[in-house]
Amino acid sequence: MFPEFEQKTGMLQGPTQIMRHEHQQIRSLLKQMGEAIEKDDTKKFFGLTETVMIMLQQHNMKEEQMLYNMAQQHLSADADRIIMMMESMVTQ
């Protein structure tokens, strides 16, 4: 969805860039959680879970209150095509 949104709006450094950065941060935290499990470091693991929970709450709020509304405004005419494209990415 992000490339479609950026193409339609011309916003390359806007909300999609923020979401991508946060996705990268979340993936990094999940990797660190896996490493903490491998090392049997429960203190670090549970500290990371709190961080991930807070990040996801904030991230989801941004998506729901800002990005999804903007996407609906700019992409609703192409919704069926975008959904099919996203579904094909998930099944790969």
What phi-psi label fits residue 40: left (phi over 0), alpha (psi between -120 and 50 degrees) or beta?
Answer: left
The 3-state DSSP class for residue 12 equals coil
Tell me the whole-structure pTM to 2 decimals.
0.72
**Digitized pLDDT (tens) for each residue of the chain, 92 residues in all:** 777 778 878 877 888 898 999 999 999 999 999 999 999 999 999 999 999 999 999 999 988 888 777 777 777 766 666 666 667 776 65
Handedness of CA 91, 8, 71, 59 (dihedral sign): positive
pLDDT digits (tens, 9 = 90+) for 14-36: 888 989 999 999 999 999 999 99
